[in-house]
Structure 1
Amino acid sequence: MYASKGWLRPSFRSASKARKCLPEARMKGKTILVTGANGGVGTAVVQHFLELGASVAGVTRSEYKAAPAHPEFFPIAADLASPAGAAKAVNAAIERFSQIDGLVHTVGGFAFGALHEFSEQEWRRLCDENLTSAFNLLRTVLPLMRVRRRGRIVMIGSLAATVPQANLSAYVATKAGLHALVQSVALENREFDITINAILPGTINTAANRAAMPAADTSRWLAPQKLARLCAQLLSDRDGAINGALLPLER
């Protein structure tokens, strides 16, 4: 979707078009907050932004076992499912780097099964990981970006949430909620030079996914490094035209 003077016009842009519009930019002098920083996707995102010269605050639910040995990387342990945890993460990043220019939210959970088989506990876990964590984080970081009148945000959604599928009802419901959150927040903050977009990947080639699906054909799975490159493009100084977009990304 694109910001216009009234409503955002519905659009479902491909990530390939976004890449053509946004040459990759260096990030020296920028501070990027990356959540889920020790996961398969988060690790690739952290590494890519460090290579581009950014300072990176990496948020994980528990303490890092082996944090990146880089002078511009700062680890933060916080549970984003709680408002206090989100505030802790944002405040720690500000204290260390004085500002947050961009946010990449990679936190998310998955569960497979028919809806009637789900426990309330499993449903709440998916809501916390896929939606509540984003809500808490956005509610904390957006006021800071509005004061500075600039910010770049990327959320990791899911391609699976765009097409009805059996045995994924709880998962896709929470991811679809994230997609809607992105589009509404884009409308609310477009006058402050704040953009927020969601990348909708297919299956990502991570260690966790390979362990969960050992018999799967991984040849069509998405490399996390490719996703990281698109995150950098969307957080660059030249991405202001893309806002409220849901960007499908496959191999």
Structure 2
Amino acid sequence: MSVEGKVVLIAGGSGALGRTIVPAFLAAGGRVVTADRNPSTDHSDERLALKADVTDEADVHRLVDEVIRRLGRVDVLVNLVGGFASGRVEDTDVALWQRMLTTNLTAAFLLSKAVLRQMVTGGTGRILHVAAWAAVEPFPGAAAYIVAKSGLLALINVLALELKGSGVTVNAVLPTTIDTPANRASMPEADPATWTRPESIAETLLFLASDEAAQINGAAVPIGTGGGAKPAAKL
């Protein structure tokens, strides 16, 4: 799939998943901007790395304004920001609860809201989030994480209804456990052959970002063969 010439804002692009997603979008012709608290030092004509806290509303607005000022617009938003924490409801304190909601849901809300007006005005745009299969098929022991990812799916459904007919679409991917170095280290006895390959996530996101996916809105695409496997601890 091609995103030739499109301005692609990738939040969390310096994380483990971003190491696969960012090169895929660059190879497909995207003009990529990554946004992270600790941005990459890899700057080029095709990639711009910016510092931003995407859980802070003012910083998100500053980020989007800077991208528009430098590159003219945002065509595609790819949100890779997320985090995992274990704990049953009875063992979850308010601080952990708030952290999971902020990282997995509030960041998605702020990023989506910040790019919406410009995309709707232009009559086109793609908003893409990485959710989790656990939001569809929960498992015990990660209450705050699963509730936050379930809220992300609800946000996507609401946005899809609000954006219907605007030319802007919002979709998500639902990976099972992602094959990252951090997950291999934390689960050394598991079989990573059943986990979700980052390349599969990249290919799906590229399709959803492309012109060919213009009629797909509100989709949540499962990726992975591990059934209800524990989701990625780190993106």
TM-score normalised over the length of structure 1: 0.86
Deviations along 1:186-218, one digit per CA (max 9) or x if unpaired, are 110122101101100011011222222222211
Which secondary structure does the structure 2 equivalent of 1:32 belong to?
Answer: strand
- Which residue number in structure 1 is paired with residue 4 of structure 2? 28
State how far apart, in whole Å, the 2-side matches of 1:97 and 1:225 are.
Answer: 27
> What displacement does 1:69 show?
4.9
Matched residues in 1 for 2:199 and 2:172: separation?
Answer: 16
Cα deviation digits, residues 118-174 of structure 1 (max 9, x gap): 121111110111000011111111011011011111110000111232112211100
Alignment-derived partner of residue 4 in structure 1: none
Is 1:173 equivalent to 2:147 in the alignment?
Answer: yes
Q: Which has the higher contact order (CA 8 A, sep 6+)?
A: 1
- Asked whether 1:54 is paired with 2:16, we answer no
> Structure 2: which 5+ residue stretches go unaligned?
226-235
Deviations 1:35-88 (A, max 9, x none): 110111122111101001110000112233xx3353210001111111012112
The number of equivalent residue pairs is: 225
The whole-number CA distance in structure 2 between the counterparts of 1:50 and 1:60 is 17
Could you say which residue in structure 1 is the equivalent of 2:233? none
Residue 244 (structure 1) aligns with? 218
How far, CA to CA, are the matches of 2:179 and 2:113 in structure 1? 31
Alignment of 1:93-112 (within 5 A): 93-112=67-86
Alignment match, 1:189: 163
Q: Output the CA distance in 2 between the equivalents of 1:207 and 1:71.
A: 29
Q: Distance in 2 between matches of 1:89 and 1:211?
A: 33
The CA distance in 2 between the partners of 1:68 and 1:145, in whole Å, is 27
Alignment RMSD: 1.2
Compute the TM-score of the two structures, normalised by the length of structure 2: 0.92
CA contact (8 A) 2:96 2:144 kept: no
Matched, 1:127 2:101: yes
Matched, 1:164 2:138: yes
Match of 1:209 among 174, 178, 183: 183
% identical aligned pairs: 36
- Distance, in Å, in 2 between the alignment partners of 1:223 and 1:91 is 33
Give the match for residue 19 of structure 1: none
Q: Which blocks of at least 5 consecutive residues in structure 1 are unaligned?
A: 1-23
Distance in 1, Cα, partners of 2:137 & 2:153: 13
